């Protein structure tokens, strides 16, 4: 159903010319289909499109069917701050580098708009975490995260001293650069860079990942989503002062001082943490809704597992080799469920001429795993 009172909020990375032109095209096509388009006031000047201009904030997505995001994952995280309170799904068109959240292909922008107009998309719920900062017996701040909440050292700190806790019991004291508490959605972000595991979005769990810890036992841990994690800041050891030779800097003037840390949520919201601060992390009361465009079926039309789109995205984003994969049954050459060409089972499955490094065909088109 098109037209009527359907409204789409358009959020774009206006610092990228391609994002601006893409957003203008999306706005025009949505308007031609009879949908109302909103844009945020700070972006309206750059986008220069016929749309309702609204101030940024939770009310911007109220009553909207969808928030379309033109940019990378960072732009989508910004848009999530607007969409989450309204319970409006986000659909990202990825113009960034990795793009695990913004999944639509910019090369098929018209097709994406057509599917939005036809309401041909699926909405999935992504777990969030609620974060509470306590200090001196009171609540200093409350915030949330879709990807991760990170307690990390400030630039002038050489080493941070923290104590982690799970469900009211102390777990470990760490000398480290920080600790990440991540959701499954955030497992492919900062937590992955710090050595954490990749967790499929359908799994409900919270990751606890130390960053550059000086300890024999410093591996990442996965805990129940019902658990409450806490990180207490003992303090940080300041770096030695650096200055020209002969200044006579007294090491005793800085070695005894303990400095604090900083809490970052999704790399967007920060809270300073003095020594003695406590950060509590628990499952968020309100999820973030993401709209997906992937359709995965076998040759017989039967649906495959919900984890298949994420699996395919991992293969593409990281260039994972899949040569030798045969699947559950032989596949005939021809178009896959998403329209891409699949080589014959013999060639693709055994690394024949149609399959190149990383499971790609010789012409660079990836081998589709439609019946994974």
The arrangement of secondary structure in 7-120, i.e. its CATH architecture, is: 3-Layer(aba) Sandwich (3.40)
Report the SS3 class of residue 175.
Answer: strand
pLDDT tens digits, one per residue of 332-351 = 444 444 445 444 333 333 33
- Residue 165: count other Cβ atoms within 10 Å of its Cβ: 16
Active site residue 167: no
pLDDT band at 140 (very low <50, low <70, confident <90, very high): very high
> Which ranges in the chain are annotated with CATH 3.40.50.10330?
7-120
pLDDT band at 270 (very low <50, low <70, confident <90, very high): very high
Q: Residue 300 has which token pair?
A: 């017989």
Given a cut of 60, whether residue 310 has pLDDT beyond it is: yes
Given a cut of 80, whether residue 254 has pLDDT beyond it is: no
pLDDT band at 363 (very low <50, low <70, confident <90, very high): very low
Tell me the CATH number of domain 129-241+251-283, given options 3.60.20.10, 2.60.120.650, 2.60.200.30, 3.40.190.10. 2.60.200.30
Output the CA torsion 20→24→25→29 (10° steps).
Answer: 150
The whole model's pTM is what? 0.81
pLDDT band at 130 (very low <50, low <70, confident <90, very high): very high
Rounded Cα distance between 188 and 135, Å, is: 31
Considering the candidates 73, 177, 266, 312, report the single residue annotated as catalytic: 73
Given a cut of 90, whether residue 253 has pLDDT beyond it is: no
Given a cut of 70, whether residue 42 has pLDDT beyond it is: yes
For residue 52, what are the β-bridge partners?
A: 38
> Which ranges in the chain are annotated with CATH 2.60.200.30?
129-241+251-283
- Residue 78: count other Cβ atoms within 10 Å of its Cβ: 17
pLDDT band at 102 (very low <50, low <70, confident <90, very high): confident
Please state, rounded to an integer, the average pLDDT across all residues of the chain: 83
Which pLDDT score, from 0 to 100, does residue 5 have? 87
pLDDT band at 239 (very low <50, low <70, confident <90, very high): low
Mean pLDDT confidence for 228-243: 77
- C-beta contacts of 354-359 below 8 A and 24+ residues apart: 355/323, 357/321, 357/323, 358/319, 358/320, 358/321, 358/322, 358/323, 359/315, 359/320, 359/321, 359/322, 359/323, 359/325
């Amino acid at each position: 159903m098109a037209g009527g009172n359907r409204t789409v909020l358009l959020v774009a990375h206006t610092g990228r010319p391609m994002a601006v032109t893409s957003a203008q095209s999306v706005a025009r096509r949505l308007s031609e289909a009879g949908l109302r388009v909103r844009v945020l006031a700070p972006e309206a000047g750059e986008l220069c499109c016929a749309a309702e201009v609204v101030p940024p904030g939770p009310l911007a997505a109220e009553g909207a069917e969808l928030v379309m995001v033109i940019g990378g994952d960072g732009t989508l995280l910004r848009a999530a701050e607007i969409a989450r309170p309204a319970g409006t799904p986000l659909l990202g068109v990825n113009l960034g580098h990795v793009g695990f959240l913004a999944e639509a292909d910019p090369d098929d922008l018209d097709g994406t708009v057509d599917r939005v107009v036809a309401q041909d998309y699926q909405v999935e719920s992504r777990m969030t975490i609620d974060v509470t900062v306590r200090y001196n017996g009171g609540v200093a701040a409350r915030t949330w995260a879709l990807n991760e909440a990170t307690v990390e050292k400030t630039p002038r700190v050489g080493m941070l001293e923290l104590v982690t806790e799970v469900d009211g019991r102390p777990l470990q004291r760490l000398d480290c650069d920080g600790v990440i508490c991540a959701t499954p959605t955030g497992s492919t972000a900062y937590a992955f860079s710090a050595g954490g595991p990749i967790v499929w979005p359908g799994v409900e769990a919270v990751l606890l990942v130390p960053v550059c810890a000086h300890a024999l036992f410093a591996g990442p841990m996965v805990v129940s989503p019902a658990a409450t994690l806490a990180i207490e800041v003992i303090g940080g050891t300041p770096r030695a002062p650096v200055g020209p030779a002969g200044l006579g800097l007294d090491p005793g003037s800085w070695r005894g001082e303990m400095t604090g840390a900083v809490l970052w949520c999704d790399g967007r919201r920060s809270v300073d943490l003095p020594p003695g601060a406590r950060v509590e992390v628990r499952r968020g009361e309100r999820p973030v809704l993401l709209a997906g465009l992937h359709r995965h079926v076998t040759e017989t039309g039967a649906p495959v597992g919900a984890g298949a789109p994420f699996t395919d995205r991992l293969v593409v984003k990281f260039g994972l080799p899949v040569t030798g994969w045969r699947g559950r049954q032989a596949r005939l050459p021809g178009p896959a469920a998403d329209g891409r060409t699949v080589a014959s089972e013999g060639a693709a499955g055994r690394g024949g001429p149609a399959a190149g490094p990383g499971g790609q065909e010789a012409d660079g088109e990836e081998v589709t795993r439609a019946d994974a």
